[in-house]
Amino acid sequence: MTADAIMPSEGERSSLAQLTELLHEGAGTLAVIRSGAQVEVPGSVRDVLARIADVLASGRGVAIVPVDRELTTTEAAGLLGVSRPTLIKLLDAGEIGYSRPNSSRRIPLDQVLAYRDRRGQTRRAILDELTADAVDMGMYDQPAPVDTSDAA
């Protein structure tokens, strides 16, 4: 994808950590004040800012891409971590929606992200089932639960 990455500087990490805490508190109104004008920050923007601050505070970069963006097959394959031929098979099987305005396929970013989420949920369910079977057969002790929620 062609979005420019925004990287935090070392000096910003402390401020970003404080900002992350403030944004996650969720209580009270968050507003931007400039030259006497005040605008309340909508909840959706607050959520995005919190996710961005989390990622930047950890030292990683972010790129902002509109969800309605269409990807090439090469970009979509890279985002999913699969080969382009594998992606084409997924498109042809109807697993991921796409359009074909000319001879090339265009895949909506939201379709790619939805497929990635479905694939992750399926993998987690299979892993949970295999783990439960192994525990039932006494093959290993049940591990402590792991938080699999994404911060960004």
Say yes or no: 37 and 91 in one domain.
no
52/74 same-domain check: no
Within a domain: 145: no
Output the pLDDT for position 87: 95
Has residue 131 been placed in a domain? yes
pLDDT in tens, 71-84: 999 999 998 999 99
Instruction: Give the chain's residues under pLDDT 50.
Output: 1-2
Q: Are residues 79 and 126 in the same domain?
A: yes
- Residues 75, 29 share a domain: no
The per-residue pLDDT for 1 is 43
Residues 96 and 44 in one domain: no
Other beta carbons less than 10 A from residue 112's beta carbon: 23
Contact 95, 82 (CB under 8 A): no
In terms of DSSP H, where are the helices of the chain?
13-25, 43-57, 73-80, 84-92, 109-136
Cα–chain center distance at 79? 11
Would you say residue 151 lies in a domain? no
